[in-house]
């Protein structure tokens, strides 16, 4: 069962704010009365000496934003307590390979979901399965919208271009996260991507929320 509108959130790399952005958007839509759900096909994370996640995991944060059960967001068997790409973490834990088909098949949605968000792991070309990366997940899901989250600072032009090259089958909307208009580099990065490269680039949640909901 597919949401009325399916959005895939990808990133130019790790720590660019995919989960933070996804949660804030989901909270806004939920507060406005829209039925939302989130899915994280697989997640890996650092653990403490007793095997517990050192911080709240992406699935826990997404579940809090949508009001869902955490293992509906990411199945328990797709939690990998090693801070590596999921297939590498699974191998390190002796749990065997991860198949892309299995990850896709496990994405179950509640009936009546208006907006569903799938958040991938790492960057666009980061492996999420032994036989696929975030770009492969995006192609398989055929979403209504693809949101590429990128840091606004140094290196973003190369990172965004490389990500776009891997997502050629979809129109991508770019969010420059942590954008500060007072910083000349941020302004110039935005202008280059938007005006020189002709990309759909945004710098605020207000702007990106409306585009993702209706575009």
Residues 6+ apart with CB under 8 A from 56: none
Record the tokens describing residue 215, joined without a space.
Answer: 């575009």
**Residue located via tokens 């869902």:** 68
Residues 41 and 100: their CA atoms lie apart, in Å, by 10
Pick from 100, 84, 104, 72: nearest CA to 44: 84
- Buried b / exposed e over 143-168, threshold 16 CB at 10 Å, is bbbbbbbbbbeeebeebbeebbebbe
How many residues are there in the chain?
215
Q: How far, in Å, are 53, 80, 131, 140 from residue 98 at the CA level?
A: 21, 11, 8, 16
The answer to whether the CB of 178 falls within 8 A of the CB of 17 is yes
Active site residue ranges: 40
Helix, strand, or coil (residue 10): strand
Pick from 171, 175, 126, 120: nearest CA to 144: 171
């Amino acid at each position: 069962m597919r949401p009325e509108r399916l959005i895939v959130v990808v990133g130019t790399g790790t720590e660019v704010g995919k989960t933070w952005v996804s949660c804030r958007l989901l909270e806004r839509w939920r507060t406005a009365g829209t039925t939302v759900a989130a899915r994280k096909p697989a997640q890996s994370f650092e653990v403490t000496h007793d095997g517990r996640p050192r911080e709240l995991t992406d699935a826990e944060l997404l579940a809090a934003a949508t009001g869902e059960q955490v293992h509906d967001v990411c199945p328990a068997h797709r939690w990998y307590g090693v801070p590596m790409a999921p297939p590498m973490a699974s191998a390190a834990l002796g749990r065997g390979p991860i198949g892309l088909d299995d990850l896709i098949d496990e994405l179950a949605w509640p009936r009546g979901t208006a907006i569903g968000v799938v958040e991938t792991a790492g960057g666009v070309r980061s492996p999420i399965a032994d036989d696929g990366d975030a770009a492969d997940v995006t192609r398989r899901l055929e979403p209504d919208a693809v949101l590429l989250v990128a840091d606004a600072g140094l290196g973003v032009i190369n990172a965004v271009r490389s990500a776009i090259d891997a997502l050629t089958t979809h129109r991508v909307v770019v969010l420059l996260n942590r954008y500060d208009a007072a910083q000349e580099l941020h302004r110039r990065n935005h202008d280059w991507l938007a005006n020189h490269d002709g990309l759909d680039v945004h710098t605020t949640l207000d702007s990106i929320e409306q585009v993702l909901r209706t575009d």
